[in-house]
Amino acid sequence: MYSAQFTAETSSNGIIERDFTVGEVTGALWSPASPTSESGRAPLVLMGHGGGMHAKAPAMTGRAQRLVADGGFHVATIDAPGHGGRPRTAHDEQEIAVMQKAMAAGEPVGPIVVRYNAHLAERAVPEWQATLDALQELPEIGAEGPVGYYGLTMGTAIGVPLTAVEPRITAAVFGLFWPDPLAETAKQITIPIEFALQWDDELIPREDGLALFDAFASKEKTLHANAGTHMELPRFEADSAVRFFTRHLGRPAT
Amino acid sequence: MYSAQFTAETSSNGIIERDFTVGEVTGALWSPASPTSESGRAPLVLMGHGGGMHAKAPAMTGRAQRLVADGGFHVATIDAPGHGGRPRTAHDEQEIAVMQKAMAAGEPVGPIVVRYNAHLAERAVPEWQATLDALQELPEIGAEGPVGYYGLTMGTAIGVPLTAVEPRITAAVFGLFWPDPLAETAKQITIPIEFALQWDDELIPREDGLALFDAFASKEKTLHANAGTHMELPRFEADSAVRFFTRHLGRPAT
């Protein structure tokens, strides 16, 4: 088992940002600068980034800041295999080339994304579990507190299989992905879910997005479908995710 | 043109509640006890109640209190024709009897509700417009401020035709209704919409609910679909409506 090694630390606006490694995995941890509970501990939200992005991409840092400032949470991201500064395998290079060729030719990328992300999930799930083990060793997080997962697009492709095997995750925000073969795994998930879908998604057919939402076995699940294309998810959905985690992970007593 | 006649006034927790009449229409107006803007004015949200309910049913008073306390809005409800203390016509009595008979026999009520609510909407739309005229005469509301509409079930059956003909309404929350014939009217509506749907609605088939959401011509529209039956709409959707109106009607400067 690895411990988290912190490699850099900055602080601004009441938020501490620390880069870390867990074995070969690189990531970032955002935390409240001052404890927000008597115990000094706060719940942890894991965030998975989208394809081609990385642990500190603007969408990740923006969401992390809202979760820390408005929810009082710790927020952790890691670079997916072959993403950020992490090395690519020959298989990664090959799949990325196929994807780029399809995009350039205006051909559907869905089948390639689905296949490649399923492969990445197999590598990423044990990395997330090792990261969670290491982060729960930190006194300000601890092994007892609730854990959330928040990831769209590739973050959903990795997050759904992670959540299915990881009982420490008790609430999750997913969305913007195809149902096959993810829906089979989603049927095993019973924790509260918030799910984002773009009503005019040019990549994921509407029926496919609805089918993935439908597959979750959760008694508490909410679909947020917004008018607009794949990339036009409204910013206010990030605020909605903060409230979702606050409802389900519990806002630390202040 | 009628003016609003106030018939009763109570105040608690910073909220003034006034019963009013506009001609033969009875209603209630909730307002902040202290002005929340320099002008002393605040936006107005009209709320339509569900079938068999009335202007001061618990769902109405609860939502009104959140809208006033958290949004700083004025909130008005009126009793629909034949509802609350308002007289029923012979036609009302007949349709209600048909509906109760269908319910007792376990037969589908959808077609009867749709037909009867379309009839009620024809009577209610001019009543809402006269009420809005009268309320905009009040100095604390005024004729210039933005107006929202918030109504589910029968409140949607009345609110969609109202919004289609009423340019003063600039944002609306709808939901929980059948698409035929309302979808045709929804196609004329272009203002921002938030739309509630219950994923396991035993009265309104899922495809029907999705079809009504789809029909709105609005560039900004959001579907909130929650797991659960027709009556199980989560309470947090009322908070979401407050935030929706705050985004679109503008929170008064404090």
**What is the structure's pLDDT at A43?**
97
Is B223 in contact with A223 (Cβ distance < 8 A)?
A: yes
Residue A235: closest C-alpha in chain B: B247
**What is the structure's pLDDT at A250?**
83
Residue B227: closest C-alpha in chain A: A221
Residue A240: closest C-alpha in chain B: B240
Residue B247: closest C-alpha in chain A: A236
Candidates A214, A222, A243; nearest CB to B226: A222
| Arithmetic mean of pLDDT over chain B | 96
B144, amino acid identity: E
Tokens of A109: 């990328």
Instruction: Tell me the pLDDT tens digit for each residue of B17-30.
Output: 999 999 999 999 99
**What is the structure's pLDDT at B251?**
54
Query: With contacts defined as CB-CB under 8 Å, which chain B residues touch A210?
Result: 210
Q: How far is B165 from chain A (nearest CA, A)?
A: 23
B35 — pLDDT class (breaks 50, 70, 90):
confident
The DSSP element (H or E) to which B215 belongs, if any, is helix B206-215
**What is the structure's pLDDT at A251?**
54
**What is the structure's pLDDT at B29?**
98
Q: Residue B156 in 3-state DSSP?
A: helix
- Boundaries of domain holding B72: 5-249
pLDDT surpasses 80 at B253: no
Is A224 in contact with B224 (Cβ distance < 8 A)?
A: yes
**What is the structure's pLDDT at B40?**
82
Is B224 in contact with A223 (Cβ distance < 8 A)?
A: yes
Q: Is residue A50 included in any domain, yes or no?
A: yes
Cβ atoms of A154 and A50 closer than 8 Å: yes
Query: In sequence order, what are the beta bridge partners of A223?
Result: A195, B225
Q: Give the closest residue to A95 by CA, choosing from A129, A52, A58.
A: A52
Q: How far is B221 from chain A (nearest CA, A)?
A: 5
Is A240 in contact with B240 (Cβ distance < 8 A)?
A: yes
Is A234 in contact with B222 (Cβ distance < 8 A)?
A: yes
Q: Is residue B9 included in any domain, yes or no?
A: yes
Tokens of A50: 């989208």
Residue B133 Cα distances to A12, A65, A158, B144, angstroms? 51, 45, 55, 12
Q: Measured between alpha carbons, how far is A36 from A25 in angstroms, rounded to an integer?
A: 28
Is A223 in contact with B225 (Cβ distance < 8 A)?
A: yes
Cβ atoms of B13 and B70 closer than 8 Å: no
Candidates A227, A239, A247; nearest CB to B221: A227
Tokens of A133: 């083990």
3-state secondary structure B84-149: CCCCCCHHHHHHHHHHHHHHHCCCCCHHHHHHHHHHHHHHHHHHHHHHHHHHCCCCCCCCCCCEEE
DSSP state, B210?
A: H
User: Considering just the CA atoms, what is the radius of gyration of chain A in Å?
Assistant: 17
DSSP one-letter string for chain A: -PPPEEEEEEEETTEEEEEEEETTEEEEEEEESS-SSTTS---EEEEEPPTT--TT-HHHHHHHHHHHHHH--EEEEEPPTTSTTSPPPHHHHHHHHHHHHHHHTT---HHHHHHHHHHHHHHHHHHHHHHHHHHTTSTTT-SSS-EEEEE-THHHHHHHHHHHH-TTEEEEEEES---TTHHHHHTT--S-EEEEEETT-SSS-HHHHHHHHHH---SSEEEEEESS-TT---THHHHHHHHHHHHHH-PPP-
Q: Is residue A254 included in any domain, yes or no?
A: no
Is B213 in contact with A225 (Cβ distance < 8 A)?
A: yes
Averaged pLDDT, B248-252:
76
Is A236 in contact with B224 (Cβ distance < 8 A)?
A: no
Q: How far is A83 from chain B (nearest CA, A)?
A: 32
Overall domain count for chain A: 1
Query: In sequence order, what are the beta bridge partners of B96?
Result: none
**What is the structure's pLDDT at A254?**
41
Q: Which of B193, B224, B239, B242 to mutate to test the interface with A (most CBs of A within 10 A)?
A: B224
By a Cβ cutoff of 8 Å, what residues of chain B touch chain A?
199, 210, 213-214, 218-227, 234, 236, 239-240, 243, 247
Provide the pairing of β-strand A5-12 with A25-32: unpaired
Is A213 in contact with B225 (Cβ distance < 8 A)?
A: yes
Instruction: Tell me the pLDDT tens digit for each residue of B159-197.
Output: 999 999 999 999 999 999 999 999 999 999 999 999 999
Candidates B223, B240, B243; nearest CB to A225: B223
Q: Is B133 exposed, middle or buried (0-12, 13-18, 19+ CB in 10 A)?
A: middle
Q: Measured between alpha carbons, how far is B142 from B36 in angstroms, rounded to an integer?
A: 14
What is the phi-psi region of residue B118: left when phi exceeds 0, alpha when psi lies from -120 to 50, beta otherwise? alpha
B212 — pLDDT class (breaks 50, 70, 90):
very high
Cβ atoms of A249 and A170 closer than 8 Å: yes
- Other C-beta atoms closer than 10 Å to the C-beta of A33 total 12
Candidates A199, A218, A240; nearest CB to B227: A218
Averaged pLDDT, B217-225:
98
pLDDT surpasses 90 at B4: yes
Q: Measured between alpha carbons, how far is B182 from B194 in angstroms, rounded to an integer?
A: 16
**What is the structure's pLDDT at B36?**
75
Q: Residue B174 in 3-state DSSP?
A: strand
> What's the gap between Cα A14 and its chain centre?
23
Query: With contacts defined as CB-CB under 8 Å, which chain A residues touch B214?
Result: 199
> What's the gap between Cα A156 and its chain centre?
7
Q: Is residue B254 included in any domain, yes or no?
A: no
- Other C-beta atoms closer than 10 Å to the C-beta of B170 total 17
Collect the ranges in chain A with pLDDT lower than 50. Answer: 252-254
H helices of B39-78, where? Answer: 58-71
Give the CATH number, domain containing residue A199: 3.40.50.1820
Tokens of B125: 């739309």
Candidates A220, A236, A240; nearest CB to B227: A220
B143 — pLDDT class (breaks 50, 70, 90):
very high
Q: Measured between alpha carbons, how far is A137 from A6 in angstroms, rounded to an integer?
A: 13
